[in-house]
Amino acid sequence: MKKIIIIGGSKGIGNAISTSLLDENEVINISRTSPQKTHPNLTHYTCDVLTDNFPEIEAADNLIYCPGSINLKPISRLKLNDFRNDFEINVIGAVKAVQKYLPILKESNQSSILLFSTVASKLGMPFHASVAASKSAIEGLTKSLGAELAPNIRVNAIAPTVTDTDLASKLLRNERLIENIKERHPLKKFLDPKEVADLATFLISEKASSISGQIFELDCGIVSFKI
């Protein structure tokens, strides 16, 4: 049974990943809020990644960092603190987690790190300047760490499009917006969190043992296709 640390596993994509892994793995969730579920394989630590020290954990095989932000404003309305805050939650929090748990990950013979970017890092989108800047840093971090930690620790990232979570609720707040978002994607849909969890589960598994330093665009075609 693998031991998997999930930062931000109580809601949204993190919660979906946790749920998909619990039956066959020991999951350690670290987040500000407690998960709305209990399971004998689930351990929770309450922690704010920006202000608190991460808990001491003796062993782990995988680290998944899920916290993110969707701060969509015109550049004229974005404050410098918007950029700082998005960078803190998306990048500094991830670096802090990697530095904290790298020693125990190095002790595993099947370890990997999974981070999260966004399709907005590849596809220029209005009002995404702050989040795209910070998530683009995650993509650079993924490739740099993948090279530095090879061959013992694999590092990959998923770049999802709009996903049906609380974080994206403002984008999906009524039927008109939902249909508009579906229509923008060549596959005429957006993501369910379980779809992201399925890819995450694969990327930390032995089936992905030859994959590192990659950014996976889970995009319903919006980045790759013009239809």
- Structure confidence by residue, pLDDT tens digits, 85-111: 999 999 999 999 999 999 999 999 989
pLDDT digits (tens, 9 = 90+) for 28-47: 999 999 998 999 999 999 99
Between CA 139 and CA 125 the distance in angstroms is: 17
> Residue 169: what pLDDT?
78
Domain boundaries, the chain: 2-164+191-218
Cross-strand partners of 115: 157
Q: Please check the confidence at residue 146 and state whether its pLDDT lies above 80.
A: yes
CATH of 2-164+191-218, one of 1.10.760.10, 3.50.30.20, 3.40.50.720, 3.40.1360.10: 3.40.50.720
pLDDT at residue number 172: 85
110 burial type by CB count under 10 A (0-12 exposed, 13-18 middle, 19+ buried): middle
Mean pLDDT of the chain: 95
Structure confidence at residue 121 (pLDDT): 94
**Residue 168 scores a pLDDT above 80:** no
Q: Nearest to residue 225, comparing CAs of 121, 115, 119? A: 119
Strand partners, 112: 62, 154
Encoding tokens for residue 3?
A: 């031991």
pLDDT at site 133: 97
Task: Report pLDDT for 12.
Answer: 94
Token pair of 129 as six digits = 């300047």
> Is pLDDT of 166 > 90?
no
Predicted confidence band of residue 224 (pLDDT cuts 50, 70, 90) = confident
What is the pTM for the complete model shown? 0.95
CA nearest to 162, candidates 6, 13, 14: 13
% the chain with pLDDT above 70 = 100
